[in-house]
Structure 1
Amino acid sequence: MSTGFEEVRLSLPHIELAAHLYGPEDGLPVLALHGWLDNAASFARLAPKLQGLRIVALDFAGHGHSDHRAAGAGYALWDYAFDVLQVAEQFGWQRFSILGHSMGAITAVLLAAAMPERIARLALIDGLVPYTGEAEQAPAKLGEALRARQALSDKRKPVYAEMARAVEARMKGVGAVSREAAELLAQRGLMPVPGGYTWRTDSRLTLPSPLRLSWAHAQAFVRALQCPVSLVLAEQGMMGAQPAVRALLQDLPFEVHRLPGGHHLHLDDETGAQLVADCFNPFLRSP
C-alpha cells in the first residue's frame, strides 16, 4: 500500500489542525473529511489512488493530532464547516472540491448547500444527511445532552495495556472496520499514557447532540446543492437501510454508486479502496 504523504499543521485563527497532504502541488484542490471518531488516516488507502489532485486530509478538531476545542465549546457540524472554510482560506482556495466520509460527507453537504460559490464537486462515501430529530423530541434530547455534559468530568477514557487491544476495540466500534483499517486509525488516534494507551480524541465528541436538524432541514440542505455530487453507498453500510434517504435519492440528480463492503469500504482493504477510486477519479477530475 502506497501511503506517501506530507504531515502538516495548520494554524487557523481559532484552532490548530493537523492534516496529511497528498498529490502534486498543482493538482486540483480537494479537502478530505473523515468520519466521527476517525482521523486523517481514513484516507490512507484511497488518497494515493486518486490522480491529479492536491488532497488535504484533515484531522477534524478533537480528532487525531488536531487540537481540542476550548473549554466550553462544542463540536456541532456547522463548527466543522467553518473549520473547513478556514483551511481553504489558508491554502488560498476560493473554490475546491470535498471528499467526505460519513460525518465528513454530512459536513460537506451542509457547507456546499450554504456556500455553493465555494464548492466545485462533492465526492461522498456512505454519508449524506445527519441523524435527525423532530420538534416534539427536542426538549427531552436537550435535557439528555445537558445531563451528559455535566457528568462528563466523572468519566475516564479506557486505557489499553497493549495497542493490539485498542485495535480490537476499534474493530468492534461504531462503523465496524477491518483489522488493517483499525490499525491505521489507531496508529494516528492513540497516545501513550501511564498503563498503556488511550485515544487522543476529545471526550466531548461522545456527548449526545443538544439539538438535531429536523428531516425537513436535512432535505432542504441536500436539495439546495448546486454542484455535481457523486455518492458511494456501501451495500453493508449505514445508509442503505434508511428508506427516507433512498426515497430522497430517487428524486435527485446525483451520481450514485452501490459498492460491496461496509461503512469504511474505502479503508477496509485495497479492493474497496480501488473500487471507490474508480468512481471518483473521473468525477473529481471532470471540468
Structure 2
Amino acid sequence: MSQPVEEVRLSLGHIELAAHLFGPHEGLPVIALHGWLDNANSFARLAPRLKGLRIVALDLAGHGYSEHRPPGASYALADYAHDVLRVAEQLGWQRFALLGHSLGAVISVQLAGALPERVSHLALIDGVLPPTAAEQDPAERLGMALRAQLRLEGKRKSVYATQAQGVEARIKGMVAVSREAAQLLAQRGLMPVPGGYSWRSDSRLTLPSPQRLSQAQAMAFVKRVQCPACLVVAADGMLARHTQLLEQLPFEQVVLPGGHHLHLNDEGGAALVADCFNRFFGFP
C-alpha cells in the first residue's frame, strides 16, 4: 500500500534519530517503535492503513539511518525510553500513544509503566516483557556480558557481495521474515562498504544484556500501565506459546494468523493488524 512518506531527522542533543512521518498533522500523536535489528520500514505496510493518527516511526538508536550510541555506551531499555521521551518533548507532545513491535513493544510497556501520565494508548505487536532471569547469578551474567564486549572489538561485520545476498541473510535471520519484508528493511538497513554491502545496525546490539529483571520486576511495569492497551498476538510468533504470561496480562488481546512480523510480511497480515488497531483507536 503506497503513500507519500516524509523523512525527518530529530536532533535530541545526545543523539540524532531518523524517522518516517505518516498521517494528518492533526491526528492522534503516536510514536512507533520497531523490533530488534529492524528499522522504521517495519511499519511501511501498517502505518498507511491506520486512520486518524499522526505517526512518527523511529529508527531506534543504532538501527537504520539513526546514529549509533557513542563509544563505551550500551543499548539499555531505559536509554531507549529516554530517547522516546526526548522525541515527544521535541514534538511538543505532552501525551502520546505508543505503537510497538517486539523490542519496541517492550520499550512501550516500560515507558507507559514508568510514566503512565504521558502515554494515552498502547498498541503492541507480539511483544510485552523483556527476557527475564530466573535464578541466574547476576555476577555470572555480568561476567558473560563483559567477556562478550571484549570479544566484539576484534570482530568485523559481515560483508555481502550484493544487496540480494544481504536480503537473503535477513530472510534467514534469527527471526525469519518474508522476502518482501526483508527488502523493505534493507532499503534503510543495508549500506555500501568496501567489497559490497553490510547492515547498518550497531554490532553492540547483538551483545547479551549485563542484567535482567526478574519476572516480578518486569510485571511491575505492566501493573502500572493506566491507559487502554491492545496486544496483537501472532499465532505463529513468539508470544503464543507463553500462555501463562498472556493469562496474567490485563490488556485486550487479539490472536491473528501469521508469524512474528505479521504486520510486515505481507499485505494481508498488515490489513488484519490495521483493522484491529483502527477499532482500538476508535477510527474503524
Matched with 1:80 is 80
1: CA distance, partners of 2:39 / 2:112: 21
Matched, 1:134 2:131: no
C-alpha displacement at 1:244, in angstroms?
A: 3.4
Which deviates more, 240-249 or 151-160? 240-249
C-alpha displacement at 1:135, in angstroms?
A: 5.0
2: CA distance, partners of 1:161 / 1:65: 21
Q: Which residue of the other structure, out of 254, 257, 271, is the alignment partner of 2:254? A: 257
Q: Which residue of the other structure, out of 267, 274, 277, is the alignment partner of 2:274? A: 277
1: CA distance, partners of 2:188 / 2:137: 37
C-alpha displacement at 1:3, in angstroms?
A: 4.0
Task: After superposition, give the CA deviation of every residue in 1:31-64 in whole Å (9 maximum; x if it has no partner).
Answer: 0000000000000000000011100000000000
What residue identity is the alignment partner of 1:171?
I
Does the Cα contact within 8 Å between 1:4 and 1:48 map onto a contact in 2?
no
Does the Cα contact within 8 Å between 1:101 and 1:125 map onto a contact in 2?
yes
Matched with 1:202 is 202
2: CA distance, partners of 1:52 / 1:92: 18
C-alpha displacement at 1:8, in angstroms?
A: 0.3
Matched with 1:193 is 193
2: CA distance, partners of 1:59 / 1:168: 22
Does the Cα contact within 8 Å between 1:148 and 1:208 map onto a contact in 2?
yes
Q: What are the residue-to-residue correspondences of 1:145-184 with 2, within 5 Å?
A: 145-184=145-184
Does the Cα contact within 8 Å between 1:141 and 1:211 map onto a contact in 2?
yes
C-alpha displacement at 1:245, in angstroms?
A: 1.5
Aligned length: 283
Q: What are the residue-to-residue correspondences of 1:204-243 with 2, within 5 Å?
A: 204-243=204-243
Matched with 1:119 is 119
Gaps of at least 5 residues in structure 2 are: none
* Identical counterparts, % of pairs: 66
Which deviates more, 236-245 or 257-266? 236-245
Does the Cα contact within 8 Å between 1:3 and 1:45 map onto a contact in 2?
no
Q: CA RMSD in A?
A: 1.0
Matched with 2:60 is 60
Task: After superposition, give the CA deviation of every residue in 1:162-215 in whole Å (9 maximum; x if it has no partner).
Answer: 111111111111221000000000111010001110011111000000001111
Task: Give the 3-state SS of the residue equivalent to 1:117 in structure 2.
Answer: helix
Task: Give the 3-state SS of the residue equivalent to 2:116 in structure 1.
Answer: coil
Task: After superposition, give the CA deviation of every residue in 1:64-104 in whole Å (9 maximum; x if it has no partner).
Answer: 00000011111001100000000000100000000000000
1: CA distance, partners of 2:142 / 2:281: 39
Does the Cα contact within 8 Å between 1:28 and 1:285 map onto a contact in 2?
no
2: CA distance, partners of 1:247 / 1:285: 25
Task: Give the 3-state SS of the residue equivalent to 1:7 in structure 2.
Answer: strand
Task: Give the 3-state SS of the residue equivalent to 1:97 in structure 2.
Answer: strand
Kindly tell me: are residues 283 and 247 of structure 1, through their superposed partners in 2, closer, same or farther at Cα, counting changes over 3 Å? closer
1: CA distance, partners of 2:244 / 2:137: 19
Matched with 2:265 is 268
Task: Give the 3-state SS of the residue equivalent to 1:41 in structure 2.
Answer: helix
What residue identity is the alignment partner of 1:191?
M
Gaps of at least 5 residues in structure 1 are: none
Task: After superposition, give the CA deviation of every residue in 1:235-281 in whole Å (9 maximum; x if it has no partner).
Answer: 000111124312323xx2x2110000000000000000000000001
1: CA distance, partners of 2:224 / 2:191: 41
